[in-house]
């Protein structure tokens, strides 16, 4: 089937946004091998589209195209690059409804969340369109009377961007936008579960007049594409969002060419409620942070730690809120949680629950789900303990385990007892405690009386095994820029 007839099945108002080839040097191409793979709807397993299954050859061509395009892209004035990004922001928002539809169909999240993700993803493009004009240098103090030292910042070069399936739009825009603003060109490899959103972004880059070769997208054989991106010496930087496990593999693969790395990896977010915390606010925060995207975000609450004196009151409110959730097809009105991305993902979540129950956790089942292999029932686990897998591993599903603590010290100790360090949250009205706890949490991000912490203005990223580098804010540009010092002598 050609792109147009595939698109008509998806109900897009602009059929041209469904792309099934690789986007290399401004052209849509098939795989050299002629092989294909399918993208399926997690609601029912229906095939949404059949795509070119690319490998190392196509990736190498994409890298060469990015390399050829990079000098001219970097030579544009910041204002010119900003204009391209601004145009991309505009076409993305003009096509928000279709992009959200593609996203829900391939990923499963409710349409309202997908609309939100497109706007959130576009915000990064708007932000870095503005930041492109503020890549400043420095004049340093002079080392001797006849010398002057100046610092300029230059693009790293060709960047490889590998993204996951949980935010198929925004995880890519928050890499593409700073890369392009800095003067880098990119080769993107989206997750095989959700490549249609990335291909639609490539189409919009084309419509926004971004020159051929500046943005390239290749989908297909993950290992072959990843192998080429990490070993090709032309690629100077890898920015990856995904699991810690794969992040470590890719880091090892980059050793041979010592690439610059940005790694946004897994999390194990604690959500602490102190005895003086506002319980209603905390439940609101936990619902947003735990159940958004059916629990499949790297900043999702993984462990609820509640002071023992307020546990019963908190759990009662949490159960009421959880029971009010509606699970269903993300395309239907009023749905809060769609299916998980795959049947495998659902099975993994089931195993977490079985493990917790076998070790004494009590299950409070939330709303029922429609039939379907990928649906996971939202639930709360009380009497959770440290020996359970839900304490130490990332759940990535709608399961909310509740642990208790007695003192601030114990809360901090529990919160930090993990190799991860991405997002954390806590609720208290005491200003002194807020400072103490915020400083003691070994995390890259802390929500204080707030469950939603990600936006283009705040630096996003982790410490420990949650990764390195920051996305968003003016710091987001640093990952794509080299510092060069110029020493002038004979003055």
Which residue numbers are catalytic? 264, 298
1-5 contacts at long range (C-beta below 8 A, 24 or more positions apart): 1/50
Q: Does residue number 246 form part of the binding site for ligand ADP (CB under 6 A)?
A: yes
Among the listed ranges 64-72, 245-253, 282-290, 316-324, the one in contact with ligand ADP (CB under 6 A) is: 245-253
> Residue 299: enclosing H or E segment and its boundaries?
none
Q: Considering the complex, what minimum distance in angstroms separates the CB of residue 239 from ligand ADP?
A: 11
- By beta carbon distance, the residue nearest ligand ADP is 226
Query: How many residues does the structure list for the chain?
Result: 491
Q: Does residue number 222 form part of the binding site for ligand ADP (CB under 6 A)?
A: yes
Q: Does residue number 223 form part of the binding site for ligand ADP (CB under 6 A)?
A: yes
Q: Considering the complex, what minimum distance in angstroms separates the CB of residue 246 from ligand ADP?
A: 3
Count of residues that bind ligand ADP according to CB under 6 A: 17
Nearer to ligand ADP, 243 or 385 (CB): 243
Q: Does residue number 414 form part of the binding site for ligand ADP (CB under 6 A)?
A: no
Among the listed ranges 3-11, 16-24, 164-172, 373-381, the one in contact with ligand ADP (CB under 6 A) is: 164-172
Nearer to ligand ADP, 96 or 243 (CB): 243
Among the listed ranges 123-131, 243-251, 270-278, 411-419, the one in contact with ligand ADP (CB under 6 A) is: 243-251
Nearer to ligand ADP, 238 or 437 (CB): 238
Q: Contact at 8 Å (CB) between 269 and 424? A: yes
- Residue from 121, 155, 164, 461 that binds ligand ADP (CB under 6 A)? 164
Q: Is 126 exposed, middle or buried (0-12, 13-18, 19+ CB in 10 A)?
A: buried
Q: Residue-wise over 256-267: b if at least 16 C-beta within 10 A, else e?
A: eeebbbbbbbbb
Q: Is 482 exposed, middle or buried (0-12, 13-18, 19+ CB in 10 A)?
A: middle
Binding mask 170-209 for ligand ADP (x = CB under 6 A): -------------------xxxx-----------------
What is the distance between the alpha carbons of residues 264 and 382, in angstroms, rounded to a whole number? 30
Q: Does residue number 449 form part of the binding site for ligand ADP (CB under 6 A)?
A: no
Among the listed ranges 81-89, 240-248, 366-374, 411-419, the one in contact with ligand ADP (CB under 6 A) is: 240-248
Nearer to ligand ADP, 189 or 464 (CB): 189
- Residue from 9, 36, 154, 243 that binds ligand ADP (CB under 6 A)? 243
DSSP secondary structure, 38-80, as one string? EEE-TTT--EEEEEE-B-HHHHHHHHHHHHHHHHHHHHS-HHH
Q: Does residue number 226 form part of the binding site for ligand ADP (CB under 6 A)?
A: yes
Closest of 235, 303, 240, 293 to residue 267, by C-alpha: 303
Binding mask 73-102 for ligand ADP (x = CB under 6 A): ------------------------------
Q: Considering the complex, what minimum distance in angstroms separates the CB of residue 257 from ligand ADP?
A: 15
Q: Residue-wise over 434-468: b if at least 16 C-beta within 10 A, else e?
A: beebeebbbbbbbbeeebebbebeeebbbebbbbb
DSSP secondary structure, 402-434, as one string? EEEESSHHHHHHHHH-SS--SEEEEE-S-HHHH
- Residue from 155, 242, 285, 462 that binds ligand ADP (CB under 6 A)? 242
What is the distance between the alpha carbons of residues 176 and 8, in angstroms, rounded to a whole number? 29
Q: How far is CA 32 from CA 55, 81, 134, 252, 263, in A?
A: 9, 32, 42, 28, 31
> In which residue are the tokens 């195993």 written?
351
Nearer to ligand ADP, 33 or 243 (CB): 243
Nearer to ligand ADP, 162 or 437 (CB): 162
Within 126-234, strands assigned E span 138-139, 148-155, 158-162, 185-189, 215-217
CA angle at residue 469 from 485 to 188, to 5 degrees? 100
Among the listed ranges 86-94, 119-127, 156-164, 203-211, the one in contact with ligand ADP (CB under 6 A) is: 156-164
> 300: alpha, beta or left, given left = phi > 0 and alpha = psi -120 to 50?
beta
Nearer to ligand ADP, 237 or 311 (CB): 237
Among the listed ranges 27-35, 222-230, 300-308, 368-376, the one in contact with ligand ADP (CB under 6 A) is: 222-230
Nearer to ligand ADP, 251 or 289 (CB): 251
* Helix, coil or strand: residue 290: helix
Q: Does residue number 162 form part of the binding site for ligand ADP (CB under 6 A)?
A: yes
Q: Which parts of this chain interact with ligand ADP (CB under 6 A)?
A: 162-166, 189-192, 222-223, 226, 242-243, 246, 249-250
């Amino acid at each position: 089937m050609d792109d147009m007839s595939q698109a008509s099945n998806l109900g897009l108002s602009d059929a041209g946004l469904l792309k099934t080839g690789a986007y290399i040097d401004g052209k849509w191409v098939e795989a050299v091998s002629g092989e294909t793979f399918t993208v399926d709807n997690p609601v029912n397993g229906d095939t949404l589209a059949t795509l070119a299954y690319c490998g190392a050859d196509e990736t190498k061509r994409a890298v060469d195209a990015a390399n050829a395009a990079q000098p001219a892209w970097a030579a544009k004035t910041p204002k010119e690059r900003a204009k391209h990004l601004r145009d991309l922001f505009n076409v993305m928002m003009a096509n928000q409804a279709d992009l959200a539809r593609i996203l829900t169909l391939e990923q499963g999240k409710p349409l309202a969340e997908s609309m939100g993700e497109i706007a959130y993803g576009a915000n990064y493009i708007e932000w870095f369109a503005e930041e492109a004009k503020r890549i400043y240098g420095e004049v340093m103090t002079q080392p001797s009377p006849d010398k002057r030292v100046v610092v300029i910042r230059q693009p790293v070069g060709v960047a490889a961007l590998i993204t996951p399936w949980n935010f198929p739009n925004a995880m890519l825009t928050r890499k593409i936008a700073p890369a392009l603003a800095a003067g880098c060109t990119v080769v993107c490899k989206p997750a095989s579960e959700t490549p249609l959103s990335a291909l639609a972004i490539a189409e919009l880059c084309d419509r926004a007049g971004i020159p051929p070769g500046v943005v390239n997208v290749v989908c297909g054989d993950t290992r072959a594409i990843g192998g080429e991106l990490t070993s090709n010496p032309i690629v100077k930087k890898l920015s990856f969002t995904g699991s810690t496990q794969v992040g470590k593999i890719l880091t090892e693969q980059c050793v041979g060419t010592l690439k610059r790395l940005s790694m946004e990896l897994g999390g194990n977010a604690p959500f602490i409620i102190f005895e003086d915390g506002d319980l209603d606010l905390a439940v609101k925060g936990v619902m947003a942070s735990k159940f958004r995207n059916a629990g499949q975000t790297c900043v999702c609450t993984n462990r609820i730690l509640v002071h023992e004196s307020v546990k019963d009151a908190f759990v009662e409110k949490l159960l009421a809120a959880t029971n009010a959730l509606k699970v269903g097809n993300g395309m239907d009105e009023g749905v809060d949680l769609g299916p998980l991305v795959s049947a495998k993902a659902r099975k993994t979540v089931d195993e977490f629950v079985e493990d917790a129950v076998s070790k004494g956790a009590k299950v409070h089942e939330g709303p029922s789900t429609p039939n379907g292999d990928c649906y996971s029932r939202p639930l709360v686990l009380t009497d959770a303990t440290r020996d359970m897998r839900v304490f130490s591993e990332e759940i990535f599903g709608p399961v909310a385990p509740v642990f208790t603590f007695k003192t601030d010290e114990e809360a901090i100790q529990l919160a930090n007892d993990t190799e991860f360090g991405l997002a954390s949250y806590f609720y208290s009205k005491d200003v002194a405690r807020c400072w103490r706890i915020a400083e003691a949490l070994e995390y890259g991000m802390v929500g204080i009386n707030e469950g939603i912490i990600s936006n283009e203005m705040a630096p996003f990223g982790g410490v420990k095994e949650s990764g390195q580098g920051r996305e968003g804010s003016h710091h987001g540009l640093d990952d794509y820029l080299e510092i060069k010092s110029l020493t002038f002598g004979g003055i």
